[in-house]
Structure formats: structure tokens, C-alpha cells
């Protein structure tokens, strides 16, 4: 057995032990797709910055370290700009949970927003067939690199250079849309390019929102339990909201992951001190109690009930959910 195959199988066992990969077809994808082909080099944190590990390093020890790291259940920094990491390959166990949350079925047509290294698209190709997979990214260097990695692994999905917020109308309609970048609101073109019953999964406010499309311009759903941290969507999407000021609030609340989620979700709509009062009153609600509704040009987040009493707009535009 080759070294990479042994490492790959060990990674799959660890992901499965964590409760993911119950779908045999998806487990087979993780077992068969070689992740190391999608990260020919990556950056590892080191004192004073980062060190670059790569598969062609003349030092055998460093090559072995690169290969072992490629199959760690951890995100890998793959692109740097001015000393900062700007792109990465996501943690495999999180990728597995996200793909399972899509409830993939044979014949599904999937749009991936954010091509990354191409690894996620390869997993989708293995599960659904490359003709059913479209991946889009704004950066031509990223799409070219992803295309090269995919070809090396034997996959040829549609790799599109373009604004992910606009979707890919030429390849629509889609049964599933999955974003690997954080959004502040759901771009209107995503549900518009889906058929009724389609699923949209996207990172929003340090969580993962899963929406089911109910008809033209309308979708609704709840957050998953899983936390998620991704780089923001670039292009015509909303600008980052920024971090709310929390001076004066109890430190144990400010550092609590679920309270930070609520702050991010309601930023610009709810004062942090009001958010804290709500959080305490509702007994520190988990992510699953929150949801999002998309209805034409209107979007709002909510706690427990899309019609209230707790709703917050996700767009800086007037609208009246539930007649309010």
C-alpha cells in the first residue's frame, strides 16, 4: 500500500469516527480522491510567520512532513499575499459534514461558490459525475490552479472564472448550491438559479445556513449545529459588517462562541447590549434555533419563528417580513 493511500484511509477512519461519512458513496469519494494532488504546497505556521511545505522539496524529511500534513484533518493555507493567508483548503471533516448536509442524490446538479484548490469539486465529481459539477471563483489564478489540480486527479468539471455572487446562469438550474466562503446575506441569484426543492448551504455569521428553495426568489431554512469560519465572498456581495463593539459586556459572554454568532447575525440590526439581553433571556440559544428567510429582495434572520417576534434584516434595505 502506498504511503498516501494509507494516510488517506486513516483520515477517512478519523472523519467517520467523528460521526460523518455515513453515506457510503461520499465515504468512497474521500477514500478515492487524493488530497495531496490539490495541495502541492501549503503554508504551516512557524515562529515569525509561515513555512512553505511542498511535494518537490529535495529534503526527504520535509517531503514526508508535507504528505503527512496533506492528510491531517485540518485546514491548510494554500495562498499568501503580503504575509497574510488569503486562501486555504478546508478541514476535511467540515467538508464531509457540509457535503452530507446537501443530501446529495444521483443526478444532482451542484454549483460550488469558491473553487479553492479544487478538492471539494473533485469529491463532488466522484459522487455525482463531473458533468453535474460547476465551480466558480472570482480569481483567475485560483480557477486555473483548481483546474490544473482537477485534471491531475482525472476530473473535468466546469471551472468558471466569475463573480460567485452572480452564480453561473449558463449552467443553471441547480439542485444544490454550496458556498465555501462567508456571506452576509444570500445573493439573490443563487435561489433564482435553482429549482423548487433545491438546497443552498452557505457559511453565514460563523454558522452554516441550509435553505430549501420554495419557489422563484424564495428560500428558507435553519442553521446547522456546526460552527464554520471561512474567508468572505469577494465580488458584488455585501461588504463585511465589521466587529460590533462589546465594551462593558461580561467577558464570559463576549468570548462565548454562540454569543459571538448572535452578534455576527444581528450586526447592524441589533445593539450588542440588546443582543446580550436577548441571549440571556432565551437561555443561550444554540445555532439550530436560528434561521433565515429569503423572499424576493427581502431577507431576514429569525429566532424560532420566521414571523417573529425576533427577526433582523440581513440587507440594508427596507422590507416588512410577516407584515411588520
Outline which parts of the chain fall under CATH 3.40.50.150: 3-222
* Residue-level pLDDT at 80: 82
pLDDT at 297: 84
Q: What is the pLDDT of residue 2?
A: 87
Please tell me the predicted confidence (pLDDT) of residue 237. 46
CA angle 122, 123, 127 (to 5 degrees): 115
The pTM for the full model equals 0.91
CA distance 55 to 36: 8
Helices (H), the chain: 3-17, 24-32, 60-70, 92-101, 119-128, 140-153, 189-192, 251-254, 257-266, 272-281
The tens-digit pLDDT sequence of the chain (324 residues) is 689 999 999 999 999 999 999 999 999 999 999 999 999 999 988 888 889 999 999 999 999 999 999 999 999 999 888 777 777 899 999 999 999 999 999 999 999 999 999 999 999 999 999 999 999 999 999 999 999 999 999 999 999 999 999 999 999 999 999 999 999 999 999 999 999 999 999 999 999 999 999 998 899 999 999 999 888 887 654 445 555 656 567 777 777 989 999 999 998 888 898 999 999 999 999 999 999 999 988 999 999 999 989 999 985 433 333 322
Task: Report the pLDDT value the prediction gives residue 223, as an integer from 0 to 100.
Answer: 98
Residue 248 pLDDT: 66
What integer pLDDT is reported at residue 244 of this predicted model?
60
Residue 22 to residue 20: CA distance in whole angstroms: 6
CATH topology of domain 3-222: Rossmann fold (3.40.50)
Q: For residue 228, which of 268, 276, 260 has the smallest C-alpha distance?
A: 260
State the catalytic residues. Answer: 87
The predicted structure's pLDDT at residue 242: 54
Amino acid at each position: 500500500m502506498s504511503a498516501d493511500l494509507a494516510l488517506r484511509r486513516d483520515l477517512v477512519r478519523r472523519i467517520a469516527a467523528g460521526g460523518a461519512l455515513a453515506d457510503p458513496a461520499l465515504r468512497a469519494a474521500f477514500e478515492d480522491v487524493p488530497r495531496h494532488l490539490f495541495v502541492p504546497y501549503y503554508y504551516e505556521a512557524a515562529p515569525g510567520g509561515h513555512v512553505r511545505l511542498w511535494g518537490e522539496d529535495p529534503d526527504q524529511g520535509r517531503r514526508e512532513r508535507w504528505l503527512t500534513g496533506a492528510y491531517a484533518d485540518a485546514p491548510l493555507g494554500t495562498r499568501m499575499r503580503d504575509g497574510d493567508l488569503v486562501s486555504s483548503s478546508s478541514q476535511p471533516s467540515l467538508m464531509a459534514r457540509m457535503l452530507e448536509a446537501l443530501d446529495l442524490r444521483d443526478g444532482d446538479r451542484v454549483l460550488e461558490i469558491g473553487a479553492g484548490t479544487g478538492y471539494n469539486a473533485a469529491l463532488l465529481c466522484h459522487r455525482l459525475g463531473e458533468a453535474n459539477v460547476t465551480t466558480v471563483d472570482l480569481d483567475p489564478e485560483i480557477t486555473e490552479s483548481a483546474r490544473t489540480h482537477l485534471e491531475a486527479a482525472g476530473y473535468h468539471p466546469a471551472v468558471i472564472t466569475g463573480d460567485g455572487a452572480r452564480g453561473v446562469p449558463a449552467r443553471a438550474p441547480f439542485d444544490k448550491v454550496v458556498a465555501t466562503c462567508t456571506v452576509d446575506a444570500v445573493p439573490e441569484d443563487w435561489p433564482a438559479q435553482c429549482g423548487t426543492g433545491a438546497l443552498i448551504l452557505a457559511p453565514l455569521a460563523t454558522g452554516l445556513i441550509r435553505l430549501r428553495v420554495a419557489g422563484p426568489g424564495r428560500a428558507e431554512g435553519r442553521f446547522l449545529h456546526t460552527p464554520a469560519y471561512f474567508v468572505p465572498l469577494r465580488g458584488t456581495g455585501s461588504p463585511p459588517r465589521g466587529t460590533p463593539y462589546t465594551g462593558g459586556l461580561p467577558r464570559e459572554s463576549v468570548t462565548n462562541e454562540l454569543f459571538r454568532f448572535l452578534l455576527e447575525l444581528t450586526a447592524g440590526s441589533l445593539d450588542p447590549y440588546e443582543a446580550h439581553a436577548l441571549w440571556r433571556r432565551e437561555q443561550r440559544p444554540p445555532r439550530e434555533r436560528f434561521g433565515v428567510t429569503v423572499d424576493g429582495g427581502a431577507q431576514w434572520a429569525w429566532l424560532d419563528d420566521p414571523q417573529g417576534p425576533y427577526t433582523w434584516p440581513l440587507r440594508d434595505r427596507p422590507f416588512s417580513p410577516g407584515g411588520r
